[in-house]
A and B are shown apart, each in its own frame.
Chain A
Amino acid sequence: MAFQMILNFVLAFVWMFLSSNYTATGFIIGFLMGIILLIIMRRFFKSRLYIYRLWALLKLTLLFFKELILANVQVLKVVLKPKLDMQPAFFAYPTVLTEDWEITLLSSLITLTPGTVVVHVSDDAKTLYVHAIDISDVDEAVASIRDSFEKAILEVSKS
């Protein structure tokens, strides 16, 4: 991904030198032409086009903001309820992610989303221990994490 981005920047600068137009407009035109060139030449790269990955990253960010707002509304409901009848629980969440940065990202996302805080990551980094504020059903919580965040992170890191 980094290689393709650097290549795109270099192509943009080459365009600027060719047209001796050293302005932001010249750079943007060169960058767009560079993207077209990269798309044409995509079968020579080992990994995916980096545009897909940027798009996945954007989707992850949007998902994250949505979940953050939902999380806060849920905390607001729990806190302002007249009767404290939530059922907290610690549950284990087995993860399929392997890289350290992916697990860190997943724990941050889980912590900032509805009703869950990551308490402990096991030594082999295969299980996250999560504290849920209201555990009506663990399976649903696990499934929702797996379907939303883990999938989005895998989408970003897939080469």
Chain B
Amino acid sequence: MTILANSLVIFFISIGVIFIVVTAIGLVRLPDLYTRAHAASKSATLGVMCVLIGVFFHFWLIEDHFNPRILLGILFLFITGPVGGHIMTRSSYIAGVKPWKGTVRDELGPEIDRMKKEQGVK
């Protein structure tokens, strides 16, 4: 039983660490802010979530201590992770950060131009 519990913990924590490493590699390798936001907002959320689940199982199954704060932490990560990615990309687009030259299609540019004109921002 202890072996089973331990392997569960090891499984979740290693998956989480792998995804966090992928996030870091993505932040270095990807060409522009918008593609980096993909790596940062998705992989980081799942990575941290998996590590937290691993910690939760460790304390629950091995130390026999049920800690609901970890579950709440996972919930808060779910709520705040995507909003962070959204706000960062949106504010950079409005501030005028150019997308990568390989970007094939841009339907957002005209919309932002129209919005800026309406609000009198140059």
Q: How far is the CA of A118 from the CA of B46 in the complex (A)?
A: 18
In the complex, chain A residues 66-112 whose Cβ is within 8 Å of any chain B Cβ:
68-69, 71-72, 75-76, 78-80, 84, 86-92, 107-108, 111-112
From A2-10, A30-38, A119-127, A146-154, the one touching the partner chain is A119-127
B-binding residues in A (CB < 8 A): 68-69, 71-72, 75-76, 78-80, 84, 86-92, 107-108, 111-112, 115, 117-120, 122-123, 127, 129, 131, 133, 135, 138
- Where the two chains meet, the residues of B that have a C-beta atom closer than 8 Å to any C-beta of A are 19, 22, 25-26, 29-32, 34-35, 37-39, 41-43, 45-46, 78-79, 81-83, 85-86, 89-90, 93, 99-100, 102-109, 111-112, 115
**Assembled-state Cα–Cα distance A88/B79 (Å):** 25
Interface contact B100-A88, CB-CB below 8 Å: yes
Given contact pairs A75-B43, A111-B85, A123 touches B115 in the complex (Cβ within 8 A)? yes
Asked whether, in the complex, the Cβ of B34 is within 8 Å of the Cβ of A118, the reply is: no
Q: How far is the CA of A73 from the CA of B121 in the complex (A)?
A: 40
Known A-B contacts A72-B46, A112-B45, A117-B37; A88 and B26 likewise in contact (beta carbons under 8 Å): no
Query: For residue B81, which residue of chain A has the nearest CB?
Result: A112
Interface of A is mostly: mixed
A111, B31: Cβ atoms under 8 Å?
Answer: no
B86 touches A89 (CB 8 A): no
